[in-house]
């Protein structure tokens, strides 16, 4: 099993996993997903077992306390001291095998080495407990309605 950076050949698998994983939020377009990758390719990766991609993670630098809105491409060359974890999804066949934890640990190590001050995310689809086990805490702040009604802003401080 290998974690490797997203490349042009991995996007079809990413879209397939996104469609499987998101039931309460409409999947984003390829152009929107790629805008995250263009801004921070070193923090966007897939988890591969044999020849199959079974998970992906998209994260990017961010400059604001408010998370970016869903369904909108990021502006070019986004910078900031926050690493925003936009998306982590695992295929149905890999659920319960620790893939999400391994991908997050890989991202966490990248964030530390890259001197980010925090990682932020919006927890969807009853994932709050998973993120709390990874060291995230709630942030009391309103977020865009594009995330739906059961969405929670969370952060993990790195310093």
List, for residues 70-93, the tens digit of each pLDDT value: 999 998 778 889 999 999 999 988
Q: Cβ neighbours of residue 82 under 8 Å, at least 6 residues apart? A: 61, 62, 63, 64, 116, 117, 118, 119, 120
Mean residue pLDDT of the chain comes to 93
R_g over Cα of the chain: 14
**Mean of the pLDDT values across residues 89-116?**
94
Helix axes 11-21, 30-39, angle to 10 degrees: 120
Residue range 34-60, pLDDT digits in tens: 999 999 999 999 999 988 999 999 999
Residue range 122-139: average pLDDT? 95
Name the more confident of 159 and 50: 50
Dig out the tokens for 119 from the structure: 């990682």
Going by pLDDT thresholds of 50, 70 and 90, the confidence category of residue 96 is confident
């Amino acid at each position: 099993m290998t974690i490797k950076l997203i490349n042009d050949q991995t996007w079809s698998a990413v879209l397939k996993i996104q469609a499987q994983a998101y039931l309460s939020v409409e999947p984003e377009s390829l152009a929107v997903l790629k805008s995250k990758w263009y801004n921070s390719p070193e923090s966007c990766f897939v988890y591969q077992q044999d020849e199959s991609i079974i998970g992906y993670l998209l994260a990017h630098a961010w400059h604001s306390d408010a998370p970016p809105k869903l369904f909108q491409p990021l502006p070019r060359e986004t910078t900031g001291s926050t690493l925003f974890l936009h998306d982590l999804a695992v295929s149905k066949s890999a659920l319960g095998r620790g893939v999400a934890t391994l991908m997050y640990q890989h991202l966490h190590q990248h964030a530390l080495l890259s001197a980010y001050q925090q990682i932020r995310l919006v927890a969807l689809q009853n994932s709050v407990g998973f993120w709390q086990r990874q060291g995230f805490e709630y942030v009391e702040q309103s977020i865009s309605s594009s995330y739906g009604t059961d969405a929670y802003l969370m952060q993990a401080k790195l310093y």
